[in-house]
Amino acid sequence: MAGNFTVLSLFSKLSLLFFINLFLSPLIEGKHGFSTHLIHRDTPKSPLYNPSNSYFETLNKAFHRSFSRAEYFKKRISQSHSKSLSDSIDGIQSHITSITGEYLIKVSIGTPPVDILAIADTGSDLTWTQCNPCKQCYEQSAPLFDPRKTSSYRKLSCDSLLCTEVGTQTCDSENNCGYRVSYGDHSYSIGDLSAETFTFESSSGGSVSIPKVVFGCGHENEGTFNESASGIVGLGGGSLSIIKQLSGSIGGRFSYCLVPKDSASDASSKINFGTNAIVSGPTAVSTPLIKKNPDTFYYLNLEGFSIGNTRISNKGFSKLHNISATAVEEGNIIIDSGTTLTYVPQEFYQDLESQLSKIIRGTRVSDPLSIFGLCYKSEINIEFPKLVAHFTNADIVLAPTSTFLEVSEGMICLTIVPSDELAIFGNLLQINYLIGYDLVNGKVSFLPADCTKN
């Protein structure tokens, strides 16, 4: 197999978008929508749930996954900015950011359908699953998808425009497109870029089948994958993501509403597509999506926080990016459902911590694990203020139950932490908001909601 890497021209990019819309636009009649469940990996509904772990042990593992994921994001962004990408094999591999997503989604593939449970990842584009015959696969509890047992499967040719988007591509003697995706921890998946019918369970009952979804059928997969997850469903902003592939039928829209993990309700978080994903109402606010590289990630402008009448400005990574300390860098934070904590620039964090420490009346303590900078002893009468996150044209009220969390027995900490290079708006601060992504109109919308009832 001979490697081939193609840099698309602007004309080719436009042709690719036309092809995707033509290929997939008839899928959902009338551009209707559908909704399905998101399963948090640490809840009893998840096969990754470990009942032997205490609540605080589970939280601690989620925090460590956040740091790992942030490191992958940094590497991915660094690689996308490197001028030497085209000069090395590592550079042209399609690096997905992380395998440490927090939410799972059930999807069925093929005709007849085979159920898989995959990581729903807003930080990845290519959807892939393990397939038979498998030369080398990580252990998986569910049966592997076998393309020989479905009537709707087909491989994509190397002449396909979508083949050029996969990153590292190979062509066999029959001109079939092969792919390779790799992760920062040396995990990888190698296989055939293919098209197949995907069926999603609808949260309202029944199911929604979508033909000709392009995905990776992985025949060599190795690394730190969990046996309960069969692969990844890519919800990023790149051309290969499910969202971009279905743009003709779902209008480039998806939304989700994240339920608190410790909620007494049995309700699941939900993800919505198409007309079901429209976020509207008198309390809904919207902020622009900023286009940056890599286009997988969803970038927003975070201008600052406020506590009461005190505004704390986000000066960004001014020294790192050689911008004015008074300027706000365009697209200075990534919104991500797969990262638990929120990361902000070091100087911005210090200003926030300083102001909070003046207001909060409580016994301050140090985090023995050095994860969190602002922690207090858990006391009956301690009160934490509301924070407001100021995005461009959108002010988001952050509940104290999201910004401050009991992270270990008797210790409550601020879930916003400092970073030297990368800012991420994590999922704890997104809980109980209906958050809608509109890729056609380039905006993200927020609507306060009780996600246990949404």
Active site residue 295: no
Q: Which of 96, 108, 70 is nearest to 230 (CA)?
A: 108
Peptide bond into 44 cis (omega under 30): no
Residue 334 near residue 423 (C-beta atoms within 8 A): yes
Q: Name residue, tokens 């062509």.
A: 171
Active site residue 121: yes
Q: Which of 262, 250, 273 is nearest to 204 (CA)?
A: 273
CA distances from 131 to 163, 191, 194, 222, 408 (A): 19, 8, 11, 13, 41
Lookup: tokens for 264: 């007494």
The single residue of 42, 192, 336, 438 carrying the catalytic annotation is 336
Look up residue 394 and give its DSSP letter: E
Q: Which of 378, 320, 383, 375 is nearest to 348 (CA)?
A: 320
Alpha-carbon distance of 46 to 41, in angstroms, equals: 5
Count of C-beta atoms within a 10 Å radius of residue 402: 20
Q: Which of 266, 274, 308, 325 is nearest to 397 (CA)?
A: 308
| Per-residue 3-state assignment (H helix, E strand, C coil) for 236-249 | CCCCCCHHHHCHHH
The single residue of 121, 125, 192, 438 carrying the catalytic annotation is 121
Lookup: tokens for 17: 């978008």
Lookup: tokens for 248: 């003709």
- Catalytic positions, please? 121, 336
